[in-house]
Amino acid sequence: MKSIFIAFDQAYYERIIDMLEKNNCRGFTAWQEVQGRGTKSGEPHYGSHAWPSLASAIITFVDDSRVEYVLNALHQMDIETPKLGLRAFVWDVEKNI
């Protein structure tokens, strides 16, 4: 089992939820308003006067066989609109109770 942490511009929220459902990734936890700045070329998401946009984040736990499908779908979204900002990180899950 793997954990995928996804940080993204709020504009992606509905698309990401839909993609997770279509890829049989049922369980997730979402944070609607998070602040941050990417390490590459994305705009800051601070929710301030100067940088008014905010980000969201989702963590989901999926079978190993689903990881590549999810990452590929997220990568396609990021390619289509690179200025919005979208990153995903995969971790091994050692225990599940």
State the pTM of this model: 0.89
Alpha-carbon gap, residue 29 to 44, rounded angstroms: 23
Mean of all residue pLDDT scores within the chain: 90
Q: Which residue range(s) make up the domain with 76? A: 2-30+39-92
The answer to whether position 70 is within a domain reads yes
Number of domains within the chain: 1
Which one has a higher pLDDT value, 68 or 85?
Answer: 68
Per the DSSP assignment, residues forming a β-bridge with 3 are 61, 91
Nearest to 66 by CA among 97, 28, 9, 12: 28
Is 61 inside a domain boundary?
Answer: yes
Residue 97 lies in a domain: no
The verdict on residue 86 lying in a domain is: yes
Say what percent of the chain tops pLDDT 90.
64
- The enclosing domain of 58 has a CATH number of 3.30.70.120
